[in-house]
Structure 1
Amino acid sequence: MRGADGLDGVELRHLRAFMAVAEERSFTHAADRLRVGQPALTRTVRALEETLATRLLDRTTRRVEPTEDGRRLYAELAPLLPRLAAALRAHGGQPVLRLGFTSLLPGACAALNAEFEAATGAGVRLVRRDTPLAGLDTGESDIAVLRGDALPDADVRTRVLLREPRVAAVGRSAAAGALARRRVLDWAELADHPLVVNTVTGSTRPELWPADRRPRLACTADNFDEWLEAVAAGHGVGVAPQEVAERHTHPGIRFVRLKNAPPVTVRLALPTRGAHPLAERFFGWGGTGGAEGRGGG
């Protein structure tokens, strides 16, 4: 890479663009995340590569992978950019709390956010990151809403916010047509059907069933949209929080009420050390249970 004297053309937008593509492994997904057009994002990353005189990303028709230089730059920027953003926010007027979430923010959070803003004068900015910790580990969020009991083994504190009922997501294809016509399904009978699992941000895995009667893993998905399409394609049955059924529709899927299903635990999470002061206040603002220890207890 060039020395510091060759970096006059590098701007913060170039670095953010590169980081987003490196994390998403896709220009399309990175463009959606940054809310920019894909051609503009491509030009921004290419401009950074030209300034640094090195290729940062290997591009194929299916996937984008960082090069050796790209991996090195990512590792160096990952801890620096969040600190820079925090420093800029500290001198930017109204304080802002970044609330991370994955595919679906619980509806109850809207009232919680409004109450917090009214009481503190701070703003709450919603940050969607389809990663296990919703951007908490990368510094992209100050506090996060996480679903499920098997939380990543990370250095975080958690508090139970609420518990949500589960529903079954059934494809309308011929293979699953009989299930789609049912009004209610029992949790136990899902063990007889292949299961589609979102392994990154999902909250339902075969291990939730008894060891002697578990559903077979049909396929996995890396995000909510892939999971939805896999169920619609008839690869297997899915299970999701009830709020998904209330806020999402798909022509190839019917959501069916589940009985005897364990609820989905929804938690607030923040770093064990060095948490943002606003995150500490939000953490104590609401919840149905006391604070838990590292990794959710």
Structure 2
Amino acid sequence: MMELRALRYFVAVAEELHFGRAAERLRIVQPAVSQQVARLERELGTRLFDRTSRTVRLTESGRRVLAAARETLAAAEHVRAVVHEPSDLVRIGTAAGLTARLERGIDALRELNPGFDLVLVDLPVIERVHALRRGELDLALVRGPVSAPGVRVLPVWSEPLHAVVSARHPVAERGSVTVAELADHVLRAPSDPPLHEAVTAALGSTGTRFGRPVGTAQDTIVEVGSDPGSWALMPATEVAAIGSTRVRSLPLLPPITITGNILTPDDDIPRQCTHAITAAFEDA
């Protein structure tokens, strides 16, 4: 019988693409992760990862199983929440690099209702939207344009995108950079759909050369940091939160910004509630 534990371990490896990092994240030993993933592969009768001594990549079957595993785990969490959640629980979908904004927003909401309980849920943007539509989240923070049935999009803040380059890149010591000065280098576009759409729209007529999409923010930093021939566009706060010494984060001239949105269920939320939510998470 398939266990939720095996699915959790599989999802951790799929997101980290590294068994050791997945074990650290799960706070267990690596052999236990490998054992559970191998067991899941035997039960499903298919390989979920292509492994070499240096890399771990999802197979096509692995990508399909990942989507189903996330849905299954989300459903299990929902069951637990139904049993245990207090009536004033607020569940917020988050993303990397939003710590300061979350702290300000939560403090503002607590001034209105000091007694509410809080759960922060870190999910990929598509999963955040799905969870909101299924009633598993009350709010979600998302960068970039989003449109989905049953979801209300509240534009709340704007933040600059910076050019992220290797510390060995020719422009690394500059105070700022133009897109034209990066034209000979490959842009690693974000894989998050809203952020990808915002970046491609901003750079549509600049002749930018797009390379293969990147993964998580951490993976982007590592990959760009090791390749002086590439660059990335990332929210400045996200780069600062990671704090890598292998890359440089350069403001763009002219600036390119991205809109930050609060997503809520598209139901009859009172106007005063919408205003309170917007005010809580807007720029300080």
Contact 2:156 2:278 in 1 (8 A): yes
d(CA) in 2 for partners of 1:286 and 1:264? 19
Q: After superposition, give the CA deviation of every residue in 1:250-288 in whole Å (9 maximum; x if it has no partner).
A: 222122222322311111124447x9x9xx998653326
Partners of 1:192 and 1:287 in 2: how far apart?
41
Matched, 1:200 2:196: no
Query: Which of residues 167, 172, 189 in structure 1 aligns to 2:167?
Result: 172
Give the distance between the partners of 1:229 and 1:168, measured in 2 at CA.
15
- Please give the TM-score of this superposition, normalised by the length of structure 2: 0.72
Q: Could you say which residue in structure 1 is the equivalent of 2:276?
A: 285
Aligned AA (1:60): D
Match of 2:90 in 1: 97
Q: CA RMSD in A?
A: 4.0
CA distance in 2, matches of 1:25, 1:19: 10
Q: Distance in 1 between matches of 2:204 and 2:64?
A: 41
Letter in 2 for 1:236: S
**1:263 match:** 257
Kindly tell me: are residues 17 and 284 of structure 1, through their superposed partners in 2, closer, same or farther at Cα, counting changes over 3 Å? farther
Q: CA deviation at 1:209?
A: 2.5
The 5 Å alignment of 1:1-297 reads 7=1, 12-18=4-10, 27=19, 30-31=22-23, 34-45=26-37, 54-55=44-45, 57-61=47-51, 62-65=56-59, 75=68, 79=71, 81-92=73-84, 94=86, 95-118=88-111, 119=113, 121-129=115-123, 131-137=124-130, 141-149=137-145, 151=146, 156-173=151-168, 176-177=169-170, 179-187=171-179, 189-191=181-183, 193-200=185-192, 202=195, 205-211=199-205, 213-232=206-225, 233-272=227-266, 285-287=276-278
How big is each residue's C-alpha offset from its partner over 1:178-219, in whole Å with a ceiling of 9 and x where there is no partner? x112212235544554322222264553431252x3311144
Paired with 2:164 and 2:48, the residues of 1 have a C-alpha distance of 37
Note closer, same or farther for the CA distance 1:236–1:35 as it changes in structure 2 (3 Å cut). Answer: same
Asked whether the equivalents of residues 167 and 257 of structure 1 are also in contact (C-alpha less than 8 Å), the reply is yes
Say if 1:172 and 1:286 are closer, same or farther in 2 by CA, change over 3 A: same
Structure 2 match to 1:292: none
Q: Which amino acid aligns with 1:82?
A: A
* CA-to-aligned-CA distance 1:48-81 (integer Å, 9 cap, x gap): 677xx5546544313344859x968974x66554
Q: For residue 277 of structure 2, what is the amino acid of its counterpart?
A: G
For these two proteins, the number of residue pairs brought into alignment is 267
Quote the Cα distance in structure 2 between the aligned partners of 1:45 and 1:221.
Answer: 24
SS state at 1:184 partner: coil
Tell me what 2:282 maps to: none
Q: What runs of 5+ residues in structure 2 fail to find an aligned partner? A: 280-284
**Which residue identity lines up with residue 32 of structure 2 in the other structure?**
A
> CA 1:78 to 1:200, structure 2 compared with 1: closer, same or farther past 3 Å?
closer
C-alpha deviation, 1:120, in angstroms: 5.5
> In structure 2, do the counterparts of structure 1 residues 89 and 56 end up closer, same or farther at CA, with 3 Å as the change threshold?
farther
Who wins on radius of gyration, i.e. which is larger? Answer: 1
Contact 1:161–1:266 under 8 Å retained in 2: yes
**Distance 1:59-1:206 versus aligned 2 partners, 3 A rule:** closer
Q: 1:103 to 1:56 in 2, by over 3 A?
A: farther
Q: Return the TM-score normalized by structure 1.
A: 0.69
The alpha-carbon distance between structure 1 residues 222 and 250, as it changes in their structure 2 partners (threshold 3 A), is same
The answer to which of 222-231 and 195-204 deviates more is: 195-204
Q: Does the C-alpha gap of structure 1 residues 49 and 261 become closer, same or farther in structure 2, counting only changes over 3 Å?
A: closer
- Cα distance change on mapping 1:248 and 1:64 into 2, 3 Å: closer
State the shift of 1:159 in Å.
1.0
Which letter does structure 1 place at the counterpart of 2:247?
Answer: I
Q: CA deviation at 1:14?
A: 4.2
Instruction: State the alpha-carbon separation in 1 of the partners of residues 40 and 212 from structure 2.
Output: 37
CA contact (8 A) 2:224 2:230 kept: yes
Distance 1:161 1:15 in 2: 35
Q: By percentage of residues, which structure has more helix?
A: 2
User: The residue matched to 1:197 in structure 2 has which SS?
Assistant: coil
Checking the alignment, whether the CA contact within 8 Å between 1:166 and 1:242 is kept in structure 2 is yes
Distance 2:126 2:57 in 1: 23
Offset at 1:248? 3.0
